[in-house]
Amino acid sequence: MSAFCGRAKPSVCGFDCVAEGEEYDYHQEIARSSYADMLYDQDRNKKYYEGIRAAVAHVKARGERVTVLDIGTGTGLLSMMAVTAGADFCYAVEVFKPMADAAKCIVEKNGFQDKIKIINKHSTDISVGLGKDMELKANVLITELFDTELIGEGALPSYEHAHRNLVQEGCVAVPHKATVYAQLVDSELLWSWAQLQPIEMQGTQLLPPPAMGNCSGTHSVCDIQLSQISPHSFTLLGPVCTMFSVDFSKPVSSAPQSYSSQFVAQTSGQARVVLSWWDLDMDPSGTIVCTMAPSWTYSNPKMAPWRDHWMQSVYFLPAPCRIDKGEDLSLTVCHDDYSLWYSLQSSSRQHSKGNMILPRPSCTCQAHLVWDRPRIGELNDKVRTESYINALRNSFHLSLYWRSGCGDRCFSGKARFPALQVLKEDSVCLGVSDGSLLPVFAHLLGAKKVFSLENFSMTKQVIEQVLDANSLRGQVELLDISPEQLTSKDLGGEQISLLIGEPYFSTSLLPWHSLFFWYCRTALAGLLRPDATILPCSATLHMVAVEFQDLWRIRALCNTCEGFDVTPMEEMIQKSLDFRESREAEPHPLWEYPCRALTKSSAVMTFDFTQCVPQQPLISHGSLPFIRSGHCHGLAVWLEYDLTTDVSVSVGLTKLIGDQGLCEWSRHSKQGVYFFRSGWETSGTDREAVFYNFVFDPNSGNVEMDFDVKSN
């Protein structure tokens, strides 16, 4: 049976309704899950096993029959651990049917079908009694209901229901307890993701809207691999504070709560950012601990376990405040049943009423809803902004483009034509990006007239706030219209002499989705002057073969897992990874995931924005020799934009460090990653190479790719 599924085409701002098999959603859920990452998390698995053995032994020591309830069993791994540890029976609950089916196969394959019952329900729908889901209440409760924020997957309501309805009084829970920690810091880098900063240009400042500076931002957590933020990027203002703990062996409440921790400021600074993580005590004695602490808290950072299904959290205070060394402070965390938020007070001003729930931050300026955190960081990037300003003020040579016979890339003959100025006094500019400040830059740099297409009403309102904050209302005309609908009348009879874009579009996921700019340029061809300048004038697709330090784990398969045979799960993951959609590149912010370049970075395809989108596909094929030895896990792919023939901006690889080829990536964008099903060991000789084939389909705007590793 087939079903019709909607599929976005961000590069062309289109949408298709296509027929897919009935297992389409199932394959996508599995392929993009973190099951492989969790199976590979040996630290997690070991600590759970030790905690389960301690819990089973404790209940047996009381002379009781051990009945286990495992909520969110996934593969059934924790249930099998419990039976191996001596549990008499286990009820394993899994709401996702394909996963429940896989767990049943795994349980049977390992011979535990007589002692483990898989229940394909949400735990809150389970009934207890003779002939029902569970015959009796459990005295051991095992769960893995946590996310980076600890409670974001509904752990508290699930525990609350379980204690009321599914487990006995005095049950032993694994994990036994969770503890949340926080540390107050000052960080220009992290704060640049929260608030738009003034932008210096032409001897003046472009100011952010006052409403944004007075806004507490969104309450959503910023979850990142905090280990990849250098301690040199922030100043510690206080010690690590223990904020609160939840004892899972006792009744749990999902009601809103608040907790405070008092401390003395270690240094003076701007209090703006809170770093947070949590630990799990697997047993009541607290001797078996699974910690999410970042690596720089370890005496030996290399000993920190890596995991991607649980990371660390960054929270931004509702309003920054200046604090002095030695000042008595109180850091408060509040939570509802799904999220946390922080606030800071001087101890002398701390609320006298104990458990007061402070208001949860919410965006009132709309800017935090229009610009996500990486985008705000991108707008605050001074080097990037300077590149665009220099390009607008620059002179450049008209380029002669030609394509080589195999279509590998384009070249430009800069010396053949005279230099032209990008922005002139009579320039009529049109900006095509989402929520971009480039049109404002063009006006401040002296353009005669500036228009900007803003199709989203909220985005338009935010840019209007920027214009108002700088007394520029009316100087840049914002048009709520698509490129296809734009007419000369909308432009006051003018023709466009300068088309500008970053390009940035909120619907883009993969790098080439921003080629939507090219389609806009094509739709606007009739409104462009014959000598119109396009900025950027081209984009180049780059690739490099890499060895990941850890990211490979999210798409890898393990042969054993704590001694249990989980091949049915591996087969399910493999089947999903082999599914058509999952064979494509996927977006990842590679600055969070260290890797080494095993080949040179190479430009493999160029998109010439000075021309319209071609009718025929663009094809590029060739090979990239290995220059370093290592285990090649896949390819990283990104775009670099030629703003002019002399100024370029990369949204991918920014630097290679040292002889080992350590990669430094843009923090503001996600790069495309194509994982090989199984990696290749390479000796780094030029006899081995990655053979590639890229096809750009102008109808869909998609870039299809295929790779192989061979010896020359």
| pLDDT over 50 at 20, yes or no | no
> How open is the CA angle 272-275-280, to the nearest 5 degrees?
155
Q: What are phi and psi of 529, to 5 degrees?
A: -65, 155
What was the pLDDT predicted at 556? Answer: 72
Q: Is 153 a catalytic residue?
A: yes
pLDDT value of position 176: 98
Structure tokens given for 353: 């009423």
pLDDT of the residue at 579: 47
CATH code at 539-711: 2.70.160.11
- The sign one gets for the Cα dihedral 544, 545, 547, 548 is positive
Q: Is 606 left (phi over 0), alpha (psi -120 to 50) or beta?
A: beta
From CA 313, how far away is CA 177, in angstroms rounded? Answer: 19
Q: Is the pLDDT of residue 291 over 70?
A: yes
Eight-state DSSP code of residue 209 = P
pLDDT (average), residues 52-81 = 96
Q: Which two tokens stand for residue 96?
A: 């996702």
pLDDT digits (tens, 9 = 90+) for 682-703: 988 778 999 999 999 999 999 9
What's the 3-state SS for 160-183? HHHHHHCEEEEEEEECCEEEEEEE
Q: 20, 64, 108, 153: which is the annotated catalytic residue?
A: 153
Across the range 124-129, mean pLDDT stands at 96
Q: Is 164 exposed, middle or buried (0-12, 13-18, 19+ CB in 10 A)?
A: exposed
Helix segments in 534-676, DSSP class H: 567-577
- Those residues with Cβ within 8 angstroms of residue 569's Cβ, 6 or more apart along the chain or in another chain: 35, 39, 75, 102, 106
CA separation for the pair 547, 680 (Å, rounded): 10
Q: Is the pLDDT of residue 299 over 80?
A: yes
Number of H helices, E strands in the chain: 15, 40
- Which residues are bridge partners to 680 per DSSP? 632
11 — pLDDT class (breaks 50, 70, 90): low
Type of residue at 3: A
Contact 158, 254 (CB under 8 A): no
Q: For residue 4, how many other CB atoms are within 10 A of its CB?
A: 10
Average pLDDT, the chain: 89
Between CA 226 and CA 295 the distance in angstroms is: 8
Instruction: Tell me: pLDDT of 31 over 80.
Output: no
254-281 mean pLDDT: 97
Distances 149 to 155, 182, 224, 339, 342 between C-alpha atoms, Å: 11, 12, 11, 7, 13
Give a three-class secondary structure readout of 327-376: CEEEEEEEECCCCEEEEEEEHHHCCCCCCCCCCCCCCCCCHHHHCCHHHH
Share of the chain above pLDDT 70, in %: 87
| pLDDT at residue 98 is higher than 80 | yes
Dump pLDDT digits (tens) for 519-568. 999 999 999 999 999 999 999 999 999 999 999 988 776 545 667 777 66
Query: Does 654 have pLDDT greater than 50?
Result: yes
CATH topology agreement for domains 178-370 and 539-711: yes
pLDDT of the residue at 424:
87
Bridge partners of 2, per DSSP, are 21
C-alpha distances (whole Å) from 339 to each of 150, 177, 215, 621 are 8, 18, 19, 48
pLDDT, residue 572, reads 63
pLDDT score of 356 more than 80: no
Q: Which pLDDT score is estimated for 33?
A: 52
pLDDT band at 425 (very low <50, low <70, confident <90, very high): confident
Active site residue 144: yes
d(CA 194, CA 373): 6
- Which pLDDT value is given to residue 395? 60
Work out the angle between the directed axes of helices 24-31 and 567-577 (0-180°, nearest 10). Answer: 110
- Which entry of 50, 94, 144, 149 is annotated as an active-site residue? 144
pLDDT in tens, 617-634: 999 999 999 999 999 999
pLDDT at 19 over 60: no
Q: pLDDT at position 685, please?
A: 79
Q: 141 in helix, strand or coil?
A: strand
Q: Which among 279, 271, 278 is positioned nearest to 343, based on CA atoms?
A: 271
| Residue type (1 letter), 355 | N
- Structural domain boundaries of the chain? 178-370, 539-711
Return d(Cα 363, Cα 379) in angstroms, integer.
Answer: 18
**Residue 291 DSSP code:** E
At the topology level of CATH, where does 178-370 sit?
Answer: Hnrnp arginine n-methyltransferase1 (2.70.160)
